[in-house]
Amino acid sequence: MRFSRWMTAGLLGIVVCAGVGAVARAESNVEDLRRALQDLNVWGGDSANARAWRHFLRTEELQAQLDRGAQADRAVVAEILGRFRSDVPGLTHARFARVARELAAWASGLKISSPEQLAAQALADKAAFRPLGADQLQRRAQQTRAALRELDAFLASSGEANRQAWKTYLQWDQIERQVQPGVDPDPAVLEAVGARYYAGAPGLELAPFVKVRDALRALHAVRLARDEAQLRQQYDAQLERLAGLLTDHAAAPTAEKSQAIGAALAWLEEMGQTPALAAAVRQTYSRPNLLVRVSERLVAAGIQDEVDDVAPVADTILGTKIQGTGRTVGQVSAYLTPTQDRAAVDILLAGTTTTNTIGRNGPVSIHSSGLTTVSGRKRLLIDTVGIQSQAATAECTTRTNIGSISAGSRMGSRMIERFAWRRASKQKPRAEWVAARHAEQRVTRRMDQRSQKLLSDANRAYLRDLKQPLERRGAFPARLNFSSTSDHLYLTALQAGPAQLAAPSAPPDLTGDTDLTVRLHESLVNNSAEAALAGMTLTDERLVQLLEDAKREVPAELQIGPEKDPWSITFAWQQPVTVVFHGDQVVVSVRGRRFSRGDQQLNKLMNISATYRLEKTPTGARLVRQGDVDVNYPGREDQRQGVREVAFKTFMRTKFDALFKPEIVGEGITLPGRWEKAGKLQLHELVAQNGWLSLGWQ
């Protein structure tokens, strides 16, 4: 039987419907954490090293907090979690990581601190100042060396000439000398070399460069902070600023306030200060910012198929060699299975195989027909690695009908035939049992063989086209969970970098039983855009290519011609693209730090934004722009602008007026491949409120 069509649909279509990704359990319970902790203790034993780890990780305190259940002290739990998540060498081991994962899941279910409590804790933590330890500087230097090794390996993959060119530009030899063990790094060198990573050259936005950039920044900050009095002054200022931001953010959340809180937390964490406060703020203001739900009906729509296949039959049963043809007619279907730590999809084959065969055993030929009921099952599992599968299983039942037995025209043939009839009748139940088992083996072997290559192709595409590009840019979700019930497949993601926050509130409740539901918080777009676009230069040629690749019309104002000046925008390092969802409106903003037009260049921060009203129509969504595209220089709106600034402002408004069209109309979604037969998904829900955008298609 040919399983390739529906198996391909099953593997690749699930990726399309749900968006494959990574898994870290969003929900856990006390028992899961207890088991992980017990496994860690048994593994460590009672050696001096194990006792030192328990003391550092405060596992006895953790056990006590577990015993308190819902009354556990959230601050203590957060501080212990901070130790498990610290950069101490060795904590990346799977057993430590498992405890950290389960601890984070359990802690997320504890009572959330109020903004007032967090602000008060920030001010109270002034008394918790800790001078930098003597080993802090060397630890940051070690992290920088590790980041440099990763970047070197990344550059080596692009060829030796490119590798050496980058090393020359990044002053590699200088920085390597500064981070050697025992060396007291020169702050001036760290600052000068670090500045090159912010220069905006194409490629510097990729994750290996960003990792070195962040490591240099942290090393530089720690080196300057060796002066205890100066560090203490900065520490107090950061906590006072954080307390004010937390209060303001609770009253009126904005992307700017969220970014400022994230930056303050990143500084505190870099300096090794107030881990409990940092963890509590993140647990309060960094909730999942993407939730996707897919109905079983939609998952199955691209997998289900009719099977009608004719294939040769060749087998040996109880010493009789059998040949003939078989026709399999059946149905391939898909069902979801309840799981919490991954999504599970069962692909089922149910059908019948009718056969017409000739069996030969010595001088005897047996003409028979058969009917085999076929029931095959292949389970697919979706998690952070991609798509895996369990071994196929099958259950078959065979019934045969002997039409004739012939021994030819030789002497004694009638006697041989009568004997053969008696023997065949006697062996018939046993032969049918063996035939059914052989059919099961063929079905499972074929399903496993077909799926092996398809699994490999699907996972390779997932890694190449989704996971690895996002990881290179630091945009892969920090937490991503797949799960399934008997009715729906769920995806929950939290996208936030070290200096970012995710959603400050829980998502809105689902209002309808749509086939595809997406709830995303504006922080998902803003955080991902910063990771992917910060510092990148977008040229007019590249913009046209992106529009054409997306099969969108290129407006006349954006088309390239000999009479038009080439232009470009270099995105800002912070908040290069942001969205705001509120009052059934979406505000889209683009922030650039450098602009070019022909041979002219402007190095000033400029913000370009457009506001759209969201409307649901019978065919899809309509976005109607409210007023003109707004272009301004942040912080300088009331200041007088020069001729050059006005000219660039006018030029960019013209370009983005063409990009931010007055009206954008959607006509539903048509899924690719075999999911196209599900028909166009029609929009049934469209709500933008309190930072969340909720979409539902039927």
Q: Alpha-carbon distance 436 to 514, whole Å?
A: 42
Q: Which residue has the higher pLDDT, 92 or 399?
A: 399
As a whole number, mean pLDDT of residues 372-392 equals 90
Q: Which residue has the higher pLDDT, 502 or 70?
A: 502
The answer to whether the beta carbons of residues 88 and 65 sit under 8 Å apart is no
Q: Is the pLDDT of residue 16 over 60?
A: no
Which pLDDT does position 405 carry in this prediction? 86
Q: What is the enclosing helix (H) or strand (E) of 242? A: helix 228-251
Q: Which residue has the higher pLDDT, 52 or 624?
A: 624
Q: Is the pLDDT of residue 18 over 50?
A: no
pLDDT digits (tens, 9 = 90+) for 148-207: 999 999 999 989 999 999 999 999 999 999 999 888 899 899 988 988 887 667 777 777
Instruction: Say which residues have a Cβ less than 8 Å from residue 154's Cβ, sequence separation at least 6.
Output: 206, 208
φ, ψ for residue 177, nearest 5 deg: -65, -35
With cut-offs at 50, 70 and 90, classify the pLDDT of residue 25. very low
Whose CA is closest to 436, among 393, 395, 402, 467? 395
As a whole number, mean pLDDT of residues 207-228 equals 84
Among 132-136, 271-275, 323-327, the least confident range: 132-136
Which pLDDT does position 282 carry in this prediction? 84
Among 97-106, 562-571, 688-697, the least confident range: 97-106
**Helices 30-44 + 48-57 axis angle, to 10:** 150
As a whole number, mean pLDDT of residues 576-593 equals 94
Instruction: Say which residues have a Cβ less than 8 Å from residue 629's Cβ, sequence separation at least 6.
Output: 608, 609, 610, 653, 656, 657, 660
Q: Is the pLDDT of residue 485 over 50?
A: yes
Q: Enumerate the domain spans of the chain.
A: 4-17+294-467, 136-224, 495-697
Which pLDDT does position 134 carry in this prediction? 65
As a whole number, mean pLDDT of residues 366-376 equals 92
Q: What is the enclosing helix (H) or strand (E) of 362? A: none
Tokens 């008060």 sit on residue? 120
For 336, the token pair is: 């979801």
pLDDT digits (tens, 9 = 90+) for 643-687: 999 999 999 999 999 999 999 888 788 887 777 888 888 888 999
The answer to whether the beta carbons of residues 40 and 95 sit under 8 Å apart is yes
The answer to whether the beta carbons of residues 286 and 502 sit under 8 Å apart is yes
pLDDT digits (tens, 9 = 90+) for 274-287: 877 888 888 788 88
Whose CA is closest to 584, among 463, 469, 694, 696? 694
As a whole number, mean pLDDT of residues 237-244 equals 93
Which pLDDT does position 3 carry in this prediction? 36
Q: Alpha-carbon distance 45 to 28, whole Å?
A: 26
Which pLDDT does position 169 carry in this prediction? 93
Q: Alpha-carbon distance 619 to 69, whole Å?
A: 50
Instruction: Say which residues have a Cβ less than 8 Å from residue 204's Cβ, sequence separation at least 6.
Output: 197, 198, 210, 213, 535
With cut-offs at 50, 70 and 90, classify the pLDDT of residue 636. confident
